[in-house]
Amino acid sequence: MIKNFFKLILNEFKLMLKESIFSFILFCLLIIACSIFSLSLRNESMGMNAPLSFLYVMIFFISLFKVEKIYSLDFDEAKLQQYILSPFSLEIVVFVKNMMIYLNLIIFFLIFSPLILIILNIDLSYLIQINILLSLSLLSIIFIASMTASITISKNNRLSLTSILTLPLFVPILIFSMAITDLIDFNTNKMYLFFVAYFLLNLAFSPLLTSFALKKLSV
């Protein structure tokens, strides 16, 4: 069983590597979007909240596009049946796939983050804090996005409209992130625990709801 689990992780890792080009393209588009945003407000005193809010919105869309593309490719009807017949439950497959998507996106973000902060005119002294903040936030974003993607690609068209119900789940992430940036020097060790707790909350029900929506593909 353990051998099969490591084999599953290895297969998902290989799939992640194949889709890295798409992630690179998304982050190149993010750089362009940040440049346009920064140029449009070059004569304004933005502070930190406006650039970070823009960055969070863009990361949200990047995650959504990434997750939906991966799910539409890896969970078509034929592959879904293979996953269902595998030794592991679909919830475990969803968890592993989400973690691989997270790993892929966070590596690219860590690589691009110094350039992003420079473009958005954010002091590089906050680089580590912002990377930690985005890393913790992205965990929840990926698992919420997986629910949205699984509902969207479902053959049951009536379920597609319910995908908008997952959008409010992103709001607490944005609110607490902006609250942290209001505090001096990100001295918010206790507030970081919110993102850990929120991820654990999403971890509790996201794989279950995602796998339930995916199984509708076979109906």
What pLDDT is recorded for position 165?
64
Q: Tell me, what's the pLDDT at 177?
A: 72
pLDDT at residue 31 tops 60: yes
Q: What is the mean pLDDT of residues 138-144?
A: 90
Dump pLDDT digits (tens) for 4-15: 777 778 888 888
* pTM for the structure as a whole: 0.86
pLDDT of residue 160: 52
Q: What is the mean pLDDT of residues 67-87?
A: 80
Instruction: Of 25-34, 40-49, 81-90, 165-174, give the lowest mean pLDDT range.
Output: 40-49
Note the pLDDT tens digit of each residue in 87-114: 888 888 889 999 999 999 999 999 999 9
For 52-61, how does the pLDDT look when each residue is reduced to its tens digit (9 = 90+)? 888 888 888 8
pLDDT at residue 171, rounded to an integer? 78
pLDDT score recorded for residue 113:
92
Mean pLDDT for the chain? 80
164-209 pLDDT, tens digit each: 666 777 777 877 777 666 654 555 566 678 788 888 888 888 888 8
CA distance 139 to 169: 13
